[in-house]
Amino acid sequence: ALLDDAEKSISEGRVPLQMFSNPDVFELETEKLWSRVWTFIGHESEIPKPGDYIVRNIGPYDSIILIRDSDGVIRAFSNICAHRGMRLCRADVGNTSHFRCPYHGWTYNDKGRLIGVSYRDSSYGDYPVLEKYEEGLSKVKVETYSGMIFGNLNPKAEPLKEFLGDFTWYLDMMTKRTDGGLEFYPPLRHISNFNWKIGAENFGTDSYHFRTTHRWLIVVGIFPDIDFVGTQASTNGHGISVITGDPTKAPLPMMYPIHWPGLLPLAQQHLKPGQWDVFSKAFTFHGNLFPHLSFLNTSQGRGSFLTFRTWTPIAPDKTEFMAWFAVEKDAPEKFKQKSYDDYTQQHSLAGAVEQDDIEIWKYITKNSKSIAARKIKLNYDVGINNRNPVKDWPGPGLTAGIPNEMVAIEFWKKLVKYLRQ
């Protein structure tokens, strides 16, 4: 009944508040969404050498080992020993040739195969345990795009390229501006009491909140007081907002002409003409790759930076938030440090902006569990009179002017579609 109501409400530009923290919705997401959607789990630059591994999560319950094996192949496995179900690897990051279970000592190589059983002769005798369990760890489907690694718990999932669809046009504006592509710094991660969808939706669409939630940035002169105008685009539930700025207040694009002027000819050379046209006029990109990979490329503050972040659910009212600083691999070291400093000032765990948002998201989540929430339908009408296709927009997808909540509505439609299947 809740999904029926949500589907009807969303088609009318309303979202039931209880969709954020209803436990039945959470379980549906676990079974219907996280079990078969492509999920960002890391970047190739995080595991550059054979034996490098990281441990990440897909959905609330599935821990994944992501490793570059001795042959240089990127593989992913469920972090579960095949013997008794113990979590095999409890470190977040490292380098190894094998994984040994701390419970009974079963050992797997970097390709996930069982290669050793402790006290084999006395415990199993002639029983061919290695042969019976030689497949070892449960494999997780992985594919990459532009250095970004995605995992899928469904072995029969559609190809990643098909899932990304036309949204690669927008991803490429951030990931393919130079020959070297991007490198990701180790992520910041913490757990907070808000529902994952609030973060994903906020980054995907909500430029409207900035001048209220983050008003102090304008008051102290860190951020110019400009109207947020530009274009939103949505393809297949993925969304981006491209905010165009005033070059007299912040040289476009995104103050790169000041901090790294060498990027501009490289970007113009590598991007398609339409992509360059969009990038060259942009003050900020922010968006969300469905379901939960958000990004922000901006001159928010006094410099330029690019960040990606995921919102991984732990419970209906609890989310693990991971944030990566990303930068062109072939950028000058001076720019990398300047960009990183600006990023950490604004968006680290002690950053100026992050805490503004999270404080609000906690209260929304708490309110969504109230009795009153069962009757409340949230308003998604921002930009309702500005949802005609943007004239002469070179990129793909549905488009609308900014400010707008068109992308948020498309996100919710995509989510309900998954939960219905």
Q: Predicted confidence band at 48 (pLDDT cuts at 50, 70, 90)?
A: very high
**Mean pLDDT score of the chain, rounded to an integer?**
94
Strand 318-328 versus strand 305-315 pairing type: antiparallel
**pLDDT for the residue numbered 301:** 63
| 356 close to 214: Cβ distance less than 8 angstroms | yes
| 412 close to 16: Cβ distance less than 8 angstroms | no
Can you tell me the mean pLDDT for 273-284?
Answer: 96
- What DSSP element (H or E) covers 201? helix 196-205
**pLDDT for the residue numbered 80:** 98
Alpha-helical (H) ranges within 12-110 are 23-28
CATH superfamily of 165-420: Naphthalene 1,2-dioxygenase Alpha Subunit; Chain A, domain 1 (3.90.380.10)
Can you tell me the mean pLDDT for 270-294?
Answer: 96
**pLDDT for the residue numbered 349:** 77
Can you tell me the mean pLDDT for 62-86?
Answer: 98
**Residue 322 predicted with pLDDT over 80:** yes
Can you tell me the mean pLDDT for 341-370?
Answer: 90
Can you tell me the mean pLDDT for 152-174?
Answer: 98
223-243: per-residue pLDDT in tens? Answer: 777 777 899 999 999 999 999
Can you tell me the mean pLDDT for 253-280?
Answer: 96
Can you tell me the mean pLDDT for 138-165?
Answer: 98
Q: Predicted confidence band at 194 (pLDDT cuts at 50, 70, 90)?
A: very high
Distances (CA, A) of 78 to 11, 37, 49, 89: 37, 16, 21, 10
**pLDDT for the residue numbered 300:** 67
Can you tell me the mean pLDDT for 57-86?
Answer: 98
Q: Predicted confidence band at 222 (pLDDT cuts at 50, 70, 90)?
A: confident
Question: Which one has a higher pLDDT value, 212 or 378?
Answer: 378
Q: In the chain, what are the domain boundaries?
A: 39-156, 165-420
Cα separation of 357 and 210, whole Å?
Answer: 10
What share of the chain has pLDDT > 70, as a percent? 99
CATH superfamily of 39-156: Rieske [2Fe-2S] iron-sulphur domain (2.102.10.10)
What share of the chain has pLDDT > 90, as a percent? 82
Q: Please state the pTM of the whole predicted model.
A: 0.95
